A = this chain, B = another copy of it.
Amino acid sequence: MLELSEKDIQPDLDRRRPGQSKIVTPRKESDLVEIMSGVFDGRTLGSPIGMLVRNKDARPSAYEEMAVKFRPSHADYTYHAKYGTRNWQGGGRSSARETIGRVAAGAIARKILRQRYGVEIVAYVKQVKDIVAEIDRSKVNLKKVESNIVRCPDVEVADRMIALIEKMRKNGDSVGGIVECVARKVPAGWGEPVFDRLEADLAKAMLSPPATKGFEIGSGFGGIHMTGLEHNDPFRMRRGQVRTTKNDSGGVQGGISNGEDVYFRVAFKPVATVMHEQDTVSTNFKNTTLKGRGRHDPCVLPRAVPMVEAMTALVLVDHALRQSAIEPCE
């Protein structure tokens, strides 16, 4: 059983919270979590853990025009096509607000991974538009990530990223970028050979939140430029363990972790809500225009960092438990 209280979960929610800095949405939400079930006397019971976070600062009036027009590159039209209805007040499930549940669940998964297996998960902003950071992923830690509001541990580059995001906000425009994530001390043997490969589950997890458009693990798309001889990763014994020489595989071979750092990158498109008039279509299927309103992030990446960590933790803990099932205690 796990010791668990709201204190284990709130810090990650605070990292994801709106209104935390000048480069994110100014919406004010305290995002306080309440554990509803599954914990007794400070420890988990084995029951499902229910948690509740209530919305406080919703302003439906800001969305009234969206009731009758589809925002470009949002989910408005596809929800309408699928369900014939949608919650136009803030976007419902298509809002990034949805990711709060992921971060809350992920905080529990991270605690299990840390306590039981020593796994460390660190994500950070690797790129904003054309500004790319240099980061040593074997050493980066939470403190460095949290040292600035854009969550990029390369401090000089971080300043340029912040300046760009502020400029975008002033222009009523938005930017995307890349979040990189590394999971260290993942033991060899997590993952499945075919359908639930570790990298497949990570890919699904990373393409499931709003605004993500790409995933690559290890050498990723860049590995294409190498030949097999260049790309292959020789094994060597090191301190009694089988290790690879350069880890271009990203810690996963044949769908299963090999004991090296698991690392991957996630592409986030620029936020769709911009404060400019754009062509669109109304819910009665006439051409029209729409100008963005409401309080939005000009760049989702700083707040996406804890979400990427959370989703990574959820995937890893799932595979940790599956592995326990095939390694029964003697």
Contact = CB atoms under 8 A, between A and B. Distances in A.
Interface stretch (A7-15, A18-26, A134-142, A214-222): A214-222
A23 to B, nearest CB: 14
Interface in A65-104: 70, 72-79, 81-87, 89, 92-94, 98
B203 A235 contact: no
Interface stretch (A144-152, A225-233, A302-310): A225-233
Contacts of A199: 207, 212-213
B219 A216 contact: no
A329 B326 contact: no
A46 B84 CA distance: 9
A86 B257 CA distance: 16
A43 interface: yes
A10 B83 CA distance: 26
A278 B227 CA distance: 14
Interface in A37-80: 40, 43, 45-47, 52, 70, 72-79
Contacts of A210: 254
A84 B41 CA distance: 13
A73 B221 contact: no
A158 interface: no
A35 interface: no
A206 interface: yes
A153 interface: no
A79 to B, nearest CB: 6
Given A78-B254, A221-B213, A231 B323 contact: no
A255 to B, nearest CB: 7
A197 interface: yes
Interface in A222-246: 223-237, 240, 242, 244-245
A160 interface: no
B254 A79 contact: yes
B214 A245 contact: no
Contacts of A236: 279, 281, 287
Given A116-B328, A213-B219, A220-B267, 4 more contacts: A216-B267, A231-B272, A245-B279, A327-B328
Interface of A: 1, 36, 40, 43, 45-47, 52, 70, 72-79, 81-87, 89, 92-94, 98, 116, 127, 129-130, 168, 173-178, 188-191, 193-197, 199-208, 210, 212-221, 223-237, 240, 242, 244-245, 248-250, 252-259, 267-274, 276, 278-281, 285-287, 320-330
